[in-house]
Amino acid sequence: MNVDLFTVILTLAATLLVAPALQGVIKRVKAFWQFRSGPPLLQAYLDLAKLARKGSVIPEPSSLVFLAAPTVVVGATLGAAVLVPIIGTRSPLGVGDAILVVGLLALGRFALALGALDTGGSFGGMGASREMAIAALVEPALFIALFALAIPAGSTDLSQLAAVAGQPTAFGPATLLALGALLIVAIAETGRIPVDNPDTHLELTMVHEGMLLEYSGRPLLLLTGAAMVKQTVVFSLIIALVAPWGMTAVLPLALLFWLGKLAVLGVVLACIETAYAKLRILRLPDLLASAVALGGLSLLARAMWGG
């Protein structure tokens, strides 16, 4: 495995620095459509700095699982971040399998669910059970879309997928169907409306936030920051798989292309959040089944016509 240390450090630094700003872009766009002033663009940085100064409270029934969960979540998320190429089509670690990225994100989700269950609280258990139920429906859709995009490359290696996706003739009906599936997956993976509402603590609706209720201080800082980084990683994965244009340009220009495409995806998700209300938990299978259907149609179109 040929590791490019400079690219690894640059990828980690860029992802960590941009993730809170991307959250700010989404909030500002939502505020614009709702005719509100909204928070400052850099508010997420201030929120993280505030959490860094606060002490943490550990629930009495918790064990080492509760304490270790934030570290595992951060490690898995950063591991996924250095596998996804953002500059050039080559993965920073030299090899970056798309299935491994999905597995690392699943590992972080599993660790967070265990940490929420470890406290014995009802809200944590409810959030963990909902998160696992959503994941059971999201991951098949993600795998089907990945396999549809992997057929032309003959591999699930992200470097080869990005190289094939960057060809002028690569974007066709099959890719468009896979993109629709990936957008739904991105909404579910990042906990956005209509799957989840990251801005509420209502016990009847929260999913991801329910698993964070027992955390405070620096552990909550790690989990909140990891959620922002995960959002950036998921967006970067979609860019590498579907729209890698400009990634092979010179370094400053490649970064600008990446930032612009991240902003576009953030605006798209913010518009979706504004246009739709949060779905009831029993209606989520219908939405996620549509992602599976889109991925299946993409796979069928790719297998039959190659387009």
CB atoms within 10 A of CB 204: 8
Nearby residues of 210 by Cβ (< 8 Å), 6 or more positions away: 116, 123, 124, 126, 127, 128, 130, 203
Residues 291, 178: Cα–Cα separation, whole Å: 9
Q: 232 or 171, which is more confident? A: 232
161-175, 179-193, 197-211: segment of lowest average pLDDT: 197-211
* Residue 139 token pair: 């991951």
Residues 65, 258: Cα–Cα separation, whole Å: 36
Q: Which domain holds residue 134?
A: 5-305
87, 204, 205, 261 from 201: Cα distances, Å = 37, 9, 8, 31
Q: 228 or 280, which is more confident? A: 228
Nearby residues of 15 by Cβ (< 8 Å), 6 or more positions away: 81, 86, 229, 232, 233, 236
Highest mean pLDDT: which of 85-94, 204-213, 236-245, 296-305? 236-245
What string of DSSP letters covers 220-278?
HHHHHHHHHHHHHHHHHHHHHHH--TTTTS-HHHHHHHHHHHHHHHHHHHHHHHHHSPP
Q: 19 or 195, which is more confident? A: 19
| Tens of pLDDT, residues 34-87 | 888 888 889 999 999 999 999 888 888 888 999 999 999 999 999 999 999 888
pTM of the shown model: 0.91
Residue 187 has pLDDT above 60, yes or no: yes
| Tens of pLDDT, residues 239-259 | 999 988 888 888 889 899 999
| Residue 265 burial (10 A CB sphere; 0-12, 13-18, 19+) | buried
Nearby residues of 127 by Cβ (< 8 Å), 6 or more positions away: 116, 206, 207, 208, 209, 210, 211, 212, 213
Nearby residues of 24 by Cβ (< 8 Å), 6 or more positions away: 39, 40, 41, 42, 43, 44
**Mean pLDDT of all residues belonging to the chain:** 87
* Residue 24 token pair: 């700010």
Domain count across the chain:
1
pLDDT at 204: 64
Residue 151 has pLDDT above 70, yes or no: yes
pLDDT at 16: 94
pLDDT category at 113 given cuts 50, 70, 90 is very high
Is 178 within 8 Å of 291 (Cβ atoms)? no
| Tens of pLDDT, residues 256-298 | 999 999 999 999 999 988 888 888 888 888 888 999 999 999 9
pLDDT at 170: 72
- Helix, strand, coil percentages (3-state) for the chain, rounded to 5, are 70, 0, 30
